[in-house]
Amino acid sequence: MTTPERGTAPKPFVFVVMPFDKAFDDIYEFGIKGAAADAAAYAERTSEQMFDDSILDRVVNQISKADVIVADMTGRNPNVYYEVGYAHALDKVTILITQTVKDIPFDLKDRPHLEYAGSASSLRPLLAPRLAWAIEESRRRSRGGGSGRFRLDVVVQGTRVPDALAGAEPPVFSGGGYTELQCDIVNQALETSPAISHCYVLAKADSGLALMTNDRTRYLPAMAVPAAEQERTGCGVQHRLESTVPAMPPGAVETISVVFEYSGSEPVVTARLRLFLPDGPRDFPFQLRWS
């Protein structure tokens, strides 16, 4: 697990929104606060804070100040739903956790979330690395001069593909023979996004995946991935796509095509789309299920 650097700077602040119910006390004390300590951060919820304004004003204030939000969606609590909506409106890095995935609202199911088995001991090891990522993501956005800088979403066939650093399960798409995926790149930032001249697809060297030009007349060359990258990503080859992404105003969408041919024997193959931005590459893992 990557742990944020420790030093004299204030610890990152994780604000926790969850139902006010004694049944969640151990989840909070040992699962969430323990995971925050593992990530060199500190976590608080309003029930343990002293304040003289209204609870709603306090919650709004704390969400605004927090580096990361952790929200337990278990039980479909309307207050938690409201607070998560406010955190997303502020573009806060928000981690959703739940004891059952059915408590994640439909319009949030494509957001990275953790499903834990209802015990603090099961939550802590799942949440700690996700918090470490979230803290770094919050710092990255701050360094960029604004919470929305260089924020791009990748949506394939209507499904959002989370950034690799989020640690979420990669979505699965069906394929057979020649398969073409339309990948929508969405500028979610508050300013014009930079142009992306280099787009790649990475996969295992022996995966059986071949990448083709958009007109399917020739194969794209497979280039070896550096050894350090192979160890980190599990991918041995990369294919540079013909597609590029121009600079986009806020809210704009640009679509690139990825054409696959498959000759392997595994029913499911993992790959990742890599986009090069000024602040570094972003990877978006996904899986292809072949029939």
| Per-residue model confidence as pLDDT tens digits over 257-278 | 999 999 888 899 999 999 988 7
State residue 189's pLDDT score: 76
Asked if residue 166 and residue 105 are part of one domain, the reply reads: no
Is 175 found in the same domain as 109? no
Domain boundary among 143, 165, 183: 143
Same domain, 217 and 273: yes
Same domain for 251 and 224: yes
Q: How confident is the model at residue 52 (pLDDT cuts 50, 70, 90)?
A: low
Model confidence over 118-171: pLDDT tens digits? Answer: 888 999 999 999 898 888 888 877 755 444 456 788 999 889 998 887 767 899
| The pLDDT of residue 49 is above 70 | no
> Do both 119 and 219 map to the same domain?
no
Does the pLDDT at position 224 exceed 90? yes
Mean per-residue pLDDT, 42-70: 81
Burial tier of 274 (Cβ tally within 10 Å: 0-12, 13-18, 19+): buried
209 compared with 52, residue with greater pLDDT: 209
Q: Do 36 and 165 fall into the same domain?
A: no
Find out whether 233 and 202 touch, Cβ atoms under 8 Å: yes
Is the domain of 26 the same as that of 105?
A: yes
Within a domain: residue 3? no
Asked if residue 2 is part of any domain, the answer here is: no
Same domain, 47 and 110: yes
| Shared-domain flag, residues 279 and 158 | yes
Instruction: Judge whether 99 and 115 are in contact, CB under 8 Å.
Output: yes
Residue 56 lies in a domain: yes
The tally of domains found in the chain comes to 2
CATH of the domain at 46: 3.40.50.450
More confident residue, 144 or 107: 107
User: What pLDDT band is residue 110 in, cutting at 50, 70 and 90?
Assistant: low
End residue of a domain, out of 143, 177, 207: 143
Q: Answer with the one of 79, 111, 143 that is the final residue of a domain.
A: 143
Quote the distance between the C-alpha of residue 152 and its chain's center.
11
**Residue 7 pLDDT more than 70?**
no
Query: Does one domain contain both 126 and 158?
Result: no
Q: Quick: pLDDT tens for 236-249.
A: 999 999 999 999 99
Whether residues 200 and 253 share a domain: the answer is yes
Tell me the residue type at 61. Answer: N
Owning domain of residue 187? 152-290
Please check whether residue 35 is in contact with residue 127, taking contact to mean a CB–CB distance below 8 angstroms: yes
Do the domain assignments include residue 165? yes
Percent of the chain with pLDDT over 70: 90
Q: What is the DSSP string of 244-289?
A: -B--B-TT-EEEEEEEEEE--S-SEEEEEEEEEETTEEEEEEEEEE
Are 21 and 76 within one domain? yes
